[in-house]
Structure 1
Amino acid sequence: MSNVKHSAKLKLGAYILPIIIVSQFACTSLWFAGNAVLDDLVLKTGLGTEIIGYVLSSVQIGFILGTLVFAILMIADRYSPSKVFMISAFLAALCNMVLLFQDISNATLFMARLGTGFFLAGIYPVGMKIAADYYEKGLGKALGYLVGALVLGTAFPHLLQGLKLGEDYTIVIKITSLLTILGGASIFFMVPNGPYRKPSKVLQLRAGMTLFRIPAFKKAAIGYFGHMWELYAFWAFIPFAVKTYNSIHNIHLPYSLWTFSIIGLGGISCAIGGHFALKWGSGKVAIISLLLSGFLCMASPLFFLMPPYLFLLAFCLWGLFVVSDSPQFSTLVASAVPLELKGTALTLVNCIGFSISIISIQLLTFWLEVVDSSYIFTVLTIGPVLGIWAMGKGGLNK
């Protein structure tokens, strides 16, 4: 009887992936919801521009704390991932709606975004864990679509802000909160536990640290950390880059819509990269992406000297390659560990990776005071170089 159920769940997997993708998109729309309306929140709260970097980092800090707790307690491996996803989505939406309060202090704003990030830890890595429970083969392709949904969800608030809907910033908060609630409910009611799920019955507080003794996991993790040094700092400062270009050339490129486009293109490249991974292997797709995004990092000062169409083309290409390696690193991480530790491994790597992104975001904020604005992205080259070095040590070609 158990074999019949297992076979039925395998057939169900083809229909489950679109549900996970849509839910991941809906729930991760919270990620940059605060960033998209940051100018309005700064005016409302009286926050100074000198601490915008800290506001941008608050979701990341919350996510780090959340993934640390989830990893130590092995929540995604010990409990039903669908239930964890739904509860986290509801609580994240609640934190997001705090931004609708009429009177909101600096501390309340920071804590609201911190809470949103904390509960996103039960959405992004847990969503990947759910996919891994359904796909033993072709996981790179599945995660390509899944991370692509994350990318589009991340960009979505910028689209709302760029449209007329964005003239009332509360609409952005209301829509993203509603989408998150619907996404969480969809996972709970429509996605049962996968056929390859092997729950951990015993809490192993040191399980996460022992994973670094696995060579394949260690290489994939370091590669991912290099990728994360670049990714979120790049995303967070795209509006600043467009504003800087506008100032230099005295033109008006709509920064919200272009931020959506540049980030959103990464969702397409994640999906395409997943298909290439079936032929080339996840390691090769990841290292090619790192090489191309690293080259664009180094060349970025030249972009501000280009005519508008070339400036936008360069940033759109960067948006494609900066994230296309992410699902492949996650595939390598999940493939390197025992079944009962996949959720813990993905969550732990996310935790450390996002901790690194905090440093790079703060470094760019400081870098603005030191160098010409057109040079701020060059420091991000450190990440791809580190990732390529890790990938080259013995190779990750599967």
Structure 2
Amino acid sequence: MPKQIPPRSALILIVIAQFLGTSLWFAGNAAASEWEILLDRSGTAPTLTLVVQLGFIFGTFLYALGSIADRFSPSKVFLISCILAASFNFSIILLPTSFSTILFCRFWVGFFLAGIYPVGMKIAADYFEKGLGSALGFLVGALVLGTGFPFLLKGLGWEISWKTILWSTSTLAILGGLAIGFLVPDGPYRKKSPKLDFGLIPKFTKNTALKGAAGGYFGHMWELYTFWAFLPALIFGLTQGTLSTENQSLWTFWIISAGGVSCALGGILAQKIGSQQVAIGSLILSGLCGLLLLVLPDISAFIIFTFLLLWGISVTADSPQFSTLVAQSVPAEQRGTALTLVNSVGFGITVISILVTRELALLLEPKVYLGFLFLGPTVGVFLFKYFRGKDSSERK
């Protein structure tokens, strides 16, 4: 393990490594169109997204149950997880091509992403006792930019073979893992968990500060991935199909990527006004966007892009700040477990939200079924205020 490095240098390396590692997350989406032709199977993208999400949920739960990031070196956990996730991603090239093989490998990519995304936040938390909200803002922002990247490629009309997508993302993920494993030592504020404690998760249910932060995060997650998943359909519906396929993809990229920038800017703002204010403010604003979409009879063609850009900015800015509040609500030796567990439940909620919205999409137009997403932020704000209020009362 290398000697200690300055927090700023560690953050730069973590952000880069996080971006490289999580590029695996959406590699299947970028390759989906070619697989559909190759396998003579349409509409595979939602299933591919869902199976990665399920793998991530399963992985984060087991990582949390075993307190992996708290009991072992998080830098080594990150490295090993990158190698394993990249190996399963690359295996799709080596194995006979079939839809079941692709789903199997993508599930395990999602599983080992549990050792990349939340563990990256844990490493950052071990370096920043103060200013964690800003650090996580840059970290989550990198993930959001990675989410929008496939849409940029599609919008620019670049034709890249699915094998190139898989081997290049696998290589990038391994490089990200090596950067953390060999250049970023465990942070100065890390406290190793002394033993495996299966009673830790039940103890979290009694932590009202944690429940408040988690409740806000869960409301945010009900909205976020469903908004991203159905954003192309919403753009098509609001513009009445007047955009070309390339321009629609570019709109999608800019709207999603604006959220990556807002994560970073929100983190900087959190240093001045606090993570709680940024998180709740963003959650309320994104909920209002959904509500306006639902109640307004129409949106002028001149402001559609601006409106969606505002939604894209507000729908993500709260994510790193809620994660900051989660990390701050537990002792240092429990941060990795808390972050991983909250991620597990949060992504489980995204699956339910996407499935519910998919059923509503059979009956309603996009502006209506996506407008109902305002319910997530509404519940999230209520839970946050309720449990944080209880926590303040208990401390008196």
Amino acid of the structure 1 residue aligned with 2:40: G
Within 5 Å, which residues of 2 pair with 1:155-234? 155-234=148-227
1:371, distance to aligned residue in structure 2 (A): 1.1
d(CA) in 1 for partners of 2:236 and 2:38? 21
Name 1:3's counterpart in structure 2: none
1:172-225 Cα shifts (integer Å, max 9, x gaps): 333322221111111111100111111112100121221121110011011111
Structure 1 distance, partners of 2:249, 2:87, is 25
One of 232, 243, 246 as aligned partner of 1:251: 243
- Counterpart position of 1:119: 112
Native 8 Å contact 2:95 2:101 kept in 1: no
Measure how far apart 1:299 and its partner are. Answer: 2.3
Aligned to 1:45: 39
Determine whether 1:35 maps to 2:34: no
- CA gap 1:160/1:97 in 2 versus in 1, 3 angstroms: farther
Task: With the length of structure 1 as denominator, give the TM-score of the two structures.
Answer: 0.91
For residue 316 of structure 2, give the secondary structure of its aligned residue in structure 1. Answer: coil
- Cα gap change, 1:367/1:29 in structure 2, threshold over 3 Å: closer, same or farther? same
- Is the alpha carbon distance of 1:232 and 1:220 closer, same or farther for their aligned partners in structure 2, counting shifts above 3 Å? same
Counterpart of 1:297 in structure 2 is 290
Contact kept in structure 2, 1:165 and 1:172, CA below 8 Å: no
Offset of residue 39 of structure 1: 2.7
Count how many residue pairs are aligned between Structure 1 and Structure 2. 389
Which moved further from structure 2: 369-378 or 124-133? 369-378
Q: In the alignment, is the contact (CA less than 8 A) between 1:368 and 1:376 conserved in 2?
A: yes
Q: Return the alpha-carbon distance in structure 1 between the equivalents of residues 83 and 233 of structure 2.
A: 32
In structure 1, give the amino acid aligned to 2:25. Answer: W
Tell me, yes or no, if the aligned pair for 2:70 and 2:337 is still in contact at 8 Å.
Answer: yes
CA offsets per residue over residues 62-90 of structure 1, 9 Å max, x none?
A: 00000011000110001111111111111
Q: Is the 8 A contact 1:220 1:333 kept in 2?
A: yes
Moved more, 59-68 or 384-393: 384-393
Aligned partner (choices 356, 361, 367) of residue 374 of structure 1: 367
Aligned to 2:12: 18
- Matching residue of 1:286: 279
Contact 2:211 2:387 in 1 (8 A): no
Corresponding position of 2:381: 388
SS in structure 2 opposite 1:337?
coil
The aligned runs of 1:318-337 (5 Å cut-off) are: 318-337=311-330
What SS does structure 1 have at the residue aligned with 2:76?
helix
Amino acid at match of 1:58: V
Are residues 1:56 and 2:49 paired? yes
State how far apart, in whole Å, the 2-side matches of 1:86 and 1:23 are. Answer: 10
For structure 2, the residue ranges without an aligned partner over 5 or more in a row are none
Cα distance in 2 between the residues matched to 1:305 and 1:38:
33
1:329-368 alignment to 2 at 5 Å? 329-368=322-361
**Retained in 2: the 8 A contact 1:140–1:277?**
yes
Distance 1:165 1:93, change over 3 A: farther
Distance in 2, matches of 1:268 and 1:188, equals: 27
Whether the aligned pair in 2 keeps the contact of 1:30 and 1:154 (CA below 8 Å) is no
CA contact (8 A) 1:27 1:153 kept: no
Point out where structure 1 has 5 or more consecutive residues left out of the alignment. 1-7
Moved more, 194-203 or 120-129: 194-203
**SS class of match (1:323):** helix
Q: Which residue of 2 aligns with 1:129?
A: 122
Compared CA separation, residues 174 and 256, structure 1 to 2 (3 A): farther
Structure 1 window deviating more from structure 2 (58-67 vs 228-237): it is 228-237
Q: In 2 relative to 1, CA 30–133 (structure 1 residues): closer, same or farther, beyond 3 Å?
A: same
8 Å Cα contact 1:266/1:322 also seen in 2: yes
1:53–1:365: 8 Å Cα contact kept in structure 2? no
SS at match of 1:209: helix
Displacement of 1:298 in angstroms is 1.8
Distance verdict in 2 for CA 1:303–1:184, change over 3 Å: farther
